[in-house]
Structure 1
Amino acid sequence: MRAKTKMIHGGITNDEKTGAVSVPIYQVSTYKQDQVGKHRGFEYSRTGNPTRHALETVISELENGRAGFAFGSGMAAITSVMMLFDADDHVVMTDDVYGGTYRLMTSVLNRFNLDHTYVDTSYPEKVEAAITDKTKAIYVETPTNPLLKITDIKKMAEIAKKHDLKLIVDNTFATPYWQLPIDLGADIVLHSATKYIGGHSDVVAGVVVVNSDELAKELHFIQNSVGGVLGPQDSWLLMRGIKTLALRMEATESNTKKIVTFLQNHDKVSTIYYPGIKSHKGHDIASEQASGYGGMISFDVGSGELAEKVLEKVKYFTLAESLGAVESLISLPAQMTHASIPRERRLELGITDGLIRISVGIEDSDDLIEDLEKALQ
């Protein structure tokens, strides 16, 4: 089954009892048991819910994994994955991660003595150098947020296998339509499903897919124990979003390429971060491991003052947190998504005060370009 077809016909697609072509929303907390300890597949909705199960099945199939899990947010998904590890374990992580991931590792999970080291994972030798006898996993975000760095997933899988580590990939920006990390050797793939998978700015969710029955058993235990599960209404919204994911990703990328060309020819734009540009350091690897470059662009206009003016002047780009929606969004990472990272650290990474991040939507590309042109003027 090809990707577009799988997004429509993958997983559980209907209700066997009624023939409904949309999985019902099972707004229920508990289930009648036929006998003590004998149930019909569900006993309590924290442990399992039919609507959530349908979502978890289709996301697992889309990522070519063994099992899927849905959580109340992307951060709940990441936190649950990190709970697979013990105190004093160590994780090597991409340096240019989402600000919420940085905050989780440095201000929350460090209280439980889960250690980590940030490195630029686009350099395999830096990953190797950061591995210690306590390292249990490599955590990769590719493309990264907001600088869109690219990490060679196959190479990371080789390193992980060599050192008996788990490879975790945040696939939020690429989605399973463009990139399949498990096929490239990853053990765990996760998404902030709030973004492209949902796609309509109407749901907050996270999903995880694992590549083995052993990991599935461990993560289900954590999901059930901690309880950060996704509700049935939001699970249904994600399934609806998945049905148009391929179409949205293609429309978004088409718009993005035109906007990148416009930005390349604008005198107020000094640097553009987009893996679809041949001069991008990770272009060749991105071209090999993904079938598309996505709809995220970051570009530098030289100063925070000018960046703020641009954000004030745009009309069709909505100034907002988040990304991956049908409407185009614009943000200033230094003051918004990555504000939790100390300024010194941001500047080290290249997240300047003048860096603007846009999530390109599915509007008419000419309107979006005219909007940016007027704002930059």
Structure 2
Amino acid sequence: MLRTSFQDERGELFEACAPYQAEDDGELDLAHCPTLPGGSFSGLEPMGLLWALQPQKPFKRLVKRDMRTPLHLLLEVFEGHGPLPGQLLAQAQHERVFLWDGVQRVPVREGKIRATLFLPPREAPFPGITDIHGLERGLFEHRASLLANHGFATLALAYYQYEDLPQDPTKFHLEYFEEAVNYMLWHSQVKGPRLGLLGYSKGGELSLAMAAFLKNITAVASINGPVATTFIPLCYKDKIIPTLPVDEKRVQVNQSNILDCSNIVTDPFQAPGQQSLIPLEKAEANILFITREDDHFVKSEYSIETCKRLKAQGKENFHILSYSGTGHCFYPPFFSLYLIGKHPIFHKWAVLGGELKANSKA
């Protein structure tokens, strides 16, 4: 039996295990040896002991805030294949590093901007990306740090519930995100005159709006992001994009008192006047929609309909990648899948969906 485990920065324990049969000489190569039945995953999965990690306590989420330190995983080999570990035969520590040597981590407190800039170790200037997370409090740096390892100057941008940013906003102002774009374009180590955007969930929605209203955006990757304004209105200059209507009566509650919010938001293409739709026909950027087919928060069919409208406007600079079974949370490779989380509006546990193996493959 092989087992991996680690504690995150809050002390929460995550574990995964799988039984294997070693060769006669005692060697075990996970790239060529499938699991035996009875573990956290099955089949030929060399990285399964990472992507199958799940919290010991229900509903806990892997949190990594400090990119300057690695994740320390404990790898253990036990005798036998039973449900209870046998004798410990061997163990080792494994580090997962977020910052390669030479990558600079620069806290940014310019004007209203609250962010962290990651700069690659190579010769500047670098292509620039602004990374915007979902409707979650704080500043998330893991994607930005990993992108910097691969040659991108990446700004991890906070936009609410962080330091002196709004704690309970009634609307978001696109001027704040425009200030972040300008900061990157004016930076001496960022290659202009255009910038890429990477957004997840609400961050994907905001990134699409930035492409529609702001200049100098060359590309957007929207990960499970709505194509219309949701929950919190968006303002830019004299324009206000209202939110899609929400029908709380459609919320379903299962036996474990977990919410299913998959049908609470009105179809953006059936909403009165369609005022909540982001006017993507104005965007000149290349747009990549990364969606799941059965998202509990964002339906991929809306991205498909958006692309039909873009095509009708004579645009061809868009693409959809749709993955079944990935869930709403879409992290970098080999992160722990977050199946059930706090809904950002209702503040109760809600189904985020997904399957471990399908999420990892995507």
| TM-score, length of structure 1 as denominator length | 0.24
Larger Rg: 1 or 2? Answer: 2
**Higher RCO (C-alpha 8 Å, min separation 6):** 1
- Larger fraction in strand: 2
- Larger fraction in helix: 1
